[in-house]
Structure 1
Amino acid sequence: MPTQTKLTPQMTAAEVNELLKSAYPQLNAEYASYEAIEVFPGGCTVRLNADERHLRPGGTVSGPSLFTLADVGGYVCVLTHAGADALSVTTNLNINFMRKAEAGPILGHCRILKMGKSLMVFDIDIVAGPDQHTVAHATGTYSIPPKRHHPHEVK
């Protein structure tokens, strides 16, 4: 995936993982299931460490688990590129499921398609298995809250 040199990350993967722990503790609760593993100009790579908690009958990783990975990818992109404001929210997310995914590491390769002042549009290719085939693809939009001024800040 080509990098977008005009979009510069403001946080590393480790920093955004720490932010997720504090601002969104219910995401991983007792287990580190969802994590950012790389942040780069214009995108990120996130991982779902899928285990039995993520499986539906038949041993397939559930749709809601993959959907969450897609949403986490967008959230990591907006946090790392628009600023670490945890109040950014999903306004749209569409997903297509291509093939089943089994337990194990599932990667989401996310890229920012458009970064505006109030909206960020992204897509994410979710891959799994030894051949890293696409198991799902999603597109989404995040709302970026307006920059807040601190009471003691000079305008």
Structure 2
Amino acid sequence: MATKAELEHFFQTDFPQADFTIESIGEKSATIRKKIAPGHLRPGGTVSGPVLMELADAALYVTILSEIGLVAMAVTTNLNINFLRKPSADKDIIAKCTLIKLGKSLAIGEVSIYSGDLPEPVAHAVGTYSIPPARA
């Protein structure tokens, strides 16, 4: 298992390009936040789909690492996303992940993505990660 502080340090040192904050981690769950900037928008004044997918993937990674420890080579093998409604261009994007299955070699989780404090999700994703075998 990894603590919030350990995860924050890991992302700062190993993934300095990660521009999200870890809001919380819990039992097989995590919430992360991304501040939206003009470069994250698409025509029409909404957050781009790739930004939402990036945050869904990051939320899965944070949640899995919080359970299995800092296993950098755990990798995405599948990510499906449904875009449900238009996110606001002037609100942070919040991703809440819950793991559905955590096995020895695969982890599956779902992520609900919100625009600021709006109660309805703007997107929903389900993803699978491959967990490398433990070193002997």
Give the TM-score band, short-chain normalised: over 0.9
Relative to 1, partners in 2 of residues 1:43 and 1:130: Cα closer, same or farther, differing over 3 Å? Answer: closer
Shift of 1:130: 4.0
Give the secondary structure class of the aligned counterpart of 2:33. Answer: strand
Alignment correspondent of 2:57: 71
| Counterpart check, 1:137 vs 2:107 | no
Structure 2 distance, partners of 1:35, 1:132, is 20
1:2-151 matches, within 5 Å, as 10-27=1-18, 33-103=19-89, 104-149=91-136
Alignment correspondent of 1:30: none
Give the secondary structure class of the aligned counterpart of 1:25. Answer: coil
TM-score (norm 1): 0.82
- Gaps in structure 1 of 5+ consecutive residues: 1-9, 28-32, 150-155
Runs of 4+ aligned residues of structure 1 deviating over 4 Å after TM superposition are none
Larger Rg: 1
Contact 1:82 1:144 in 2 (8 A): no
TM-score (norm 2): 0.93
Shift of 1:26: 2.5
Give the secondary structure class of the aligned counterpart of 2:11. Answer: helix
Contact 2:94 2:116 in 1 (8 A): no
Structure 2 distance, partners of 1:50, 1:92, is 25
For these two proteins, the number of residue pairs brought into alignment is 135
- Cα RMSD of the aligned pairs, angstroms, is 1.2
- Gaps in structure 2 of 5+ consecutive residues: none
Contact 2:107 2:131 in 1 (8 A): yes
Give the secondary structure class of the aligned counterpart of 1:117. Answer: coil
Structure 2 distance, partners of 1:143, 1:18, is 23
Shift of 1:34: 1.4
What is the aligned-residue identity percentage? 44
Structure 1 distance, partners of 2:4, 2:47, is 24
Contact 1:67 1:95 in 2 (8 A): yes
- Which is further off, 121-130 or 12-21? 12-21
Q: Residue type matched to 1:136 in 2?
A: A
